Amino acid sequence: MSNVPPEAAALRGAVDLSSLKNRQTAPPQGAGAPGAVPDAGAPAASGALVRDVTDATFNEILELSRTVPVVVDLWAEWCGPCKQLSPVIEKVVRELGGRVVLAKVDVDANPQLQRAFQAQSIPMVVALLAGQPAPLFNGAIPEEQVRQVLDQLLQIAAQNGITGTVEAGDAPEADAEPEEKPLPPLHAEAFAAIEAGDYARAAEAYEKALKENPRDDEAQAGLGQVRLLGRVQDVDLQQARQVAAEAPNDAAAQLVVADLDIAGGHVEDAFERLLDLFASLDAEARGPVKDRLVELFGVIGAADPRVVKARTRLTNLLF
């Protein structure tokens, strides 16, 4: 599948881009032959640091990733957390001065890419190194964490000889773009808190927004995400899994691991864990598990097929 050494493979997840890689389009100017490792320091063709990418043009990004690391931001217009995260990624990428390119994919308009990346929960951020996918994170995270992730990506890219740059040819275009609609005040307050890593304050802002408008879907999704981030922020992954394995009927321990699974993108594992737990408990002990399931359904999205499947099983268990 790849000539990428183990350092890059350590980031790689179960993402199959073979159907896209096999599409025969001419490589962009400056891209090497497939499988070739670019010379250290060799620049890529000049162009935008931030690019809107489609099913039809994605092969160019795959080829470009042989020269410079590419960060793929999978988003949708209806996704509130996406609107918070995307400007942060763009800012960090631009500050890196052409050492990283950002490819933005609207999953609603590009179903082939959505299927290829298995993007059933967004925002989803993936890196490409020499044409190989490397999942980075899901959900909105603070700017400092974005910087840390991209710093790590650059280190791994350098270990694999992917050290080119792109000449920033998109500054005039960026200046000409209309300004994005500002976030509502409480959403902006929540986003600032997320950037600071203060998830409790972000949750308070979203809760206020929901009091003002109980039908604010973006605030509801944001609240679920920041609550999740707050719960997993200081958890030791290995220790949590060990405790849960030793106490399969301990609801608190299973809830912690389910949160970790959701945060890590293992959505089905989280739902199955909690549904199995729910089924094993008596009626009095089921409440917290049901509440957590409902909250996590909101984090992933009601239309997600994994949520639909899990919600159906929960309904059957209830009635």
Residues labelled as active-site residues: 79, 82
CA gyration radius for the chain?
21
User: Which is nearest to 59 in space by CA: 7, 14, 110?
Assistant: 110
User: Which is nearest to 132 in space by CA: 162, 99, 93?
Assistant: 162
Q: What are the CA-CA distances from residue 222 to residues 146, 194, 210, 229 (Å)?
A: 18, 10, 11, 10
β-strand partners of 168: 47
d(CA 297, CA 312) in angstroms, rounded, equals: 12
User: Which is nearest to 17 in space by CA: 49, 51, 52, 63?
Assistant: 63
Determine if the peptide bond prior to 123 is cis (ω within 30°).
Answer: yes
> 312 Cβ partners below 8 Å, 6+ apart?
none
CA quadruple 46, 48, 49, 53: dihedral sign: negative
Quickly list H helices, the chain: 6-9, 18-21, 58-64, 80-95, 111-116, 143-159, 171-176, 185-195, 199-212, 217-232, 237-246, 251-263, 267-280, 287-300, 305-318
> 304 Cβ partners below 8 Å, 6+ apart?
120, 121, 267
What amino acid is encoded at 267 in this protein?
A: V
- Please provide the distance, in angstroms rounded to a whole number, between the alpha carbons at the two ends of the chain: 47
